[in-house]
Amino acid sequence: MRLVVFDVDGTLVDSQADIVASMAAAFGAVEMPAPTRQDILSIVGLSLPVAMRTLAPEADHDRMVAVYKDSYADLRMTKGAASSPLYPGARAALDRLNGRDDILLGIATGKSKRGLDGLIDAHGLGGAFVTRQVADFHPSKPHPSMLHAAMDEAGVYAADAVMIGDTSFDADMAEAARMPFIGVSWGYHPPSRLNGARTVLNSFDDLDDALGALWVE
């Protein structure tokens, strides 16, 4: 069996509008001006406490995290699946991989369990992933804890797994776990930051060939 682990924000779904809006709410709660969109997107993938410390070292991070989570949950409840739309080709790629008997799918995300569960329910992906690793139970990316847990749950070794993501945090996490990494070009970090990527996808249509090249018998 092989395990394909996906990042979520910037890889499977485009959640930047709600991320930026929720970050603005969090900064407003501590009476600070919100960072630029570029600065906010640069920290997507980190766990929220780490992201807040990065963007606002002297602020009340507990307050900011709580407000961010509540704002994001409210937006998801209001907008449903439109809160974080799947990127073009993502659903078809997940369906293709789930149709194979030699591949298992997993997630490793900086989202909370509440956030991931809500997103999966909104998109009807409840049965797609055999392992879901979230920020609640692990150190922030790029620590490899999430990937170690994913491999343990799926029963595979690093050589038979791959991380797919859009940020340097994903790339560095995969390297720390000694797992191959495939980048995507449509996310929140430019491809030039995806150090060590075996390849960088320009479309989900390219994923099957990339996996085939990775695991040549």
Q: Is 39 a catalytic residue?
A: no
Q: How many CB atoms are located within 10 Å of the residue 23 CB?
A: 28
Nearest residue to 198 via CA among 215, 182, 210: 182
- With tokens 């995806």, the residue in question is 194
Catalytic residue among 7, 18, 160, 166: 7
Q: Is 9 a catalytic residue?
A: yes
Q: Report how far residue 172's alpha carbon sits from residue 152's, in angstroms, rounded to the nearest whole number.
A: 19
Which residues fall within 8 angstroms of residue 103, CB to CB, at 6 or more apart? 1, 2, 3, 4, 97, 211
Nearest residue to 11 via CA among 108, 115, 87: 87
Q: Give catalytic residues, as residue numbers.
A: 7, 9
